[in-house]
Amino acid sequence: MSFTHKFDPTSLREYDIRGIVGKTLHPEDAFAIGRTFGSIVARKGGRTVVIGYDGRLSSPSLEDALVKGALASGVEVVRVGRGPTPMLYFASVTLKADGAIMVTGSHNPPNYNGFKMMLSGKPFFGEQIKELGALSAAGDVVPEAEGTVRSIDIKDDYIARLIQDWDGGTRKLKVVWDNGNSVAGEVLAELVKKIPGEHTILNGEIDGTFPAHHPDPTVAKNLEQLIAKVGETHADIGIAFDGDADRIGVVDDKGQILWGDQILVILARDVLRERPGATIIADVKASQVLFDEIAKAGGTPLMWRTGHSLIKSKMAETASPLAGEMSGHIFFADKWYGFDDALYAAIRLLGIVARLDVPLSAVRDALPETISTPELRFDCDDTRKFAVIEEVAARLKESGADVSLIDGVRVNTKDGWWLLRASNTQAVLVARAEGNTEAGLEHLKSALTEQLEKSGIAAPDFSGDNAGH
């Protein structure tokens, strides 16, 4: 039986394949991913593909079609069932699988779903995803064959491995967890039994409609329930997950949010005690405070491009033990496997908090204060967004500005810094500015607005958006 399949072009993203179920994403797409990815694995001499899925309502049917497609490529499919994306990564690494596919809509609304992939233990992204689309459209797959399938339950092994690196001793912390109805629910319920202390779990039930709030812990309003419970229970810390538990949100004992870069400061100081001089990576959206604090703690800070696949690849290249993104992806290669895992990051963070002789809020409050805009995303046509960045970069270079072009343009001035980059996944430009003072931030916003206007783009609305950080 001949095979060809064309994907909706909007579903083939930089880091994953993702779309709206029933509109841009269907079970036929899942079958085609299995069929084509299975062929890629087979042509590389591989044999095993591990498959898992998240708690969304559409995930079981997509997983079923995905498995059928992979089997038609003659590979051995290992089904690990429903669980966090990091649990699939764990299965892939520990089973030494040749490929892995996770059915997940991550932090997107309930009507979305998608697929994250690994090939030969590395992220499968960018040009590889484009190639998968082209191979599928051309029907360029291995001849149809009958693969084999088996199901395994890896949850207990995963939980045991998570808890292996607990280093907080016997201190009994008071912890509030907001599972956010994410797919981590079952794992989390077992995990907390093994950590000393008093644990309160909010929204523990896995529910793909996300009835409590949107499953994105980097948005302040999604943390309101957690903040309230931390206050009510006088907890030491609150921890939240996104829909597939590869991103973490944290609030301290005062209910203050710790953003991705602030979490990374605390983790980096701990890792650097045992690994002085190590390279710690953060994305281009992170605060200058983070890079300064890594250097102060004896580390080598490295600013890199946004995107979990890009960060993982850079970690492997630089032998970095720790990396993070503002989006709440935290990657440990110190004692762990180099992939982003919110449950593992939580274990390591709780260990640090248990060893502190002051509250977590005291550590957060001691960080240098800056004033920043949140991440501002505004529409810009896919055909125009990268050209705008090139135009701005050319003007800045001509003016002699102190500019980094690692990912978009990041401009350093005496007032702080501002960033403008094109999203890899949406038709938007992304801007952020961080000033040392209110007046400094205004200068930065003006400079950013001026550059946008010179390229014929209306500046985003900055009004009332400043946040202490």
Residues with catalytic roles: 106
What is the Cα–Cα distance from 345 to 328, expressed in whole angstroms? 10
Supply φ then ψ for residue 228, to 5 degrees. -60, -40
What is the Cα–Cα distance from 333 to 315, expressed in whole angstroms? 8
SS3 184: coil
Query: What residues are paired with 49 via a beta bridge?
Result: 77, 99
Residues 6+ apart with CB under 8 A from 118: 89, 92, 97, 99, 100, 101, 124
Cα 91-96-100 angle, rounded to 5 deg: 55
> Which ranges constitute the DSSP H helices of 257-402?
260-274, 288-296, 308-318, 342-355, 360-365, 382-399
What is the Cα–Cα distance from 330 to 280, expressed in whole angstroms? 11
Amino acid at 366: A
Query: H/E element holding 377?
Result: strand 376-379
Nearest one of 36, 125, 26 to 73, comparing CA atoms = 36
What is the Cα–Cα distance from 288 to 233, expressed in whole angstroms? 34
In Å, what is the CA distance from 189 to each residue of 1, 179, 205, 419, 456? 46, 10, 10, 40, 52
Cβ distance 162 to 350 under 8 Å?
Answer: no
What region, left, alpha or beta, does residue 42 occupy, with left being phi > 0 and alpha being psi -120 to 50 degrees?
A: alpha
Supply φ then ψ for residue 120, to 5 degrees. 55, 40
- Residue given tokens 């309502």 in the structure block: 57
